[in-house]
Amino acid sequence: MLEQRIRDRLTRKPILLMMHTVLGYPSLEASMDLMETLAGSGADVLELQIPFTDPVADGPRIIQANEQAIRNGVTVAGCLELTGAAARSLSVPIVVMTYYNVVYRYGVERFAESLDDMGVEGLLIPDLPPEEGERFLHAVKGKGLSPVLTLSPTTPEERMDRIASLGRGFVYCVARRGVTGCPTRFASETASYLARCRKATGLPLAVGFGVSGREDVAFLEGKAEIAVVGTELLKRLERGGQEGVGAFVRSLVSPADVLQPLKNTGTR
């Protein structure tokens, strides 16, 4: 169960890291190496994005990665195969992120069943409002997966309560309006927003959009359970390759916080 695995890791770390990567970028082969580097350097959860032609929640860097992966000939089937390999070989929980068109074309129930069979623990679809997601929620929960839903600073409190009641695993709190990749000023407004999120749900809170360094992660300690890093990871990969990524992830946590990666035992 995703929520329990997160809480288990929180007994050893003040805040967890969820690292977001686009499958097939820069290649499918490199994606597996990258996931192993992330898990071995201190990542606690991997958020694996299946590429899509119109990733509306993403900024320029992640859009570029989506486009490059698609030009490389990456398919949904290939991404699922790679995701299954990661779920079998790595000890960290796997959350798949993609857009609803991908899931709908594949078949909602079939998609949920495939993820469940391979040991994926959560599914995040940022462009599917919960009001329109009854079929998705039923299929995912029916297979024991956690539907990860999102909140934003502009979400009214009543709707926050509604969304939070439907989610499982953790809630993804978008740090600001807009798309990924833009700088975020983590300040008192962010703290107030996260306090509203905390009031709406007892699930762990994950905060993304603009987390780029140790200072941001430190700000979120005590306010959220998970810091999400995506765009900055791509920048480090482009500048420093796998070694640069490993050094970057380690810089986000103190050495004592890094959990040793274990081979997956096949249990959730």
pLDDT in tens, 72-109: 999 999 999 999 999 999 999 999 999 999 999 999 99
The answer on pLDDT for 256 being more than 50 is no
47 assigned to active site:
yes
- Of these residues, 3, 44, 58, 121, which one is catalytic? 58
The answer on pLDDT for 252 being more than 80 is yes
- Predicted confidence band at 261 (pLDDT cuts at 50, 70, 90)? very low
How far apart CA 166 and CA 209 sit, in angstroms, is 22
Across 160-178, average pLDDT: 88
Query: Which of these ranges, 105-114, 175-184, 190-199, has the smallest mean pLDDT?
Result: 175-184
Reported as half-sphere exposure (CB side, CA atoms, 13 A), residue 87 has a value of 24
Report in angstroms the alpha-carbon separations of 154 from 35, 150, 185, 193. Answer: 33, 12, 16, 9
- For the chain, the average pLDDT equals 90
Residue-level pLDDT at 59: 84
- Of these residues, 44, 47, 121, 225, which one is catalytic? 47
58 assigned to active site:
yes
**Which of 113, 162, 158 has its CA nearest to residue 134?**
162
Which letter, b or e, does each residue of 201-231 get, where b requires 16 or more Cβ atoms within 10 Å of its Cβ? bebbbbbbbbbbeeebbebbeebbbbbbbbb
Domains defined along the chain, listed by start: 2-250 (3.20.20.70)
Across 223-245, average pLDDT: 95
- Contact predicate 26/73, CB 8 Å: no
Across 198-225, average pLDDT: 94
In terms of Cβ atoms closer than 10 Å to its own Cβ (0-12, 13-18, 19+), residue 255 is: exposed
Query: Which of these ranges, 18-27, 31-40, 74-83, 205-214, has the smallest mean pLDDT?
Result: 205-214
Phi, psi of 243 (to 5 degrees): -65, -40
pTM here is 0.90
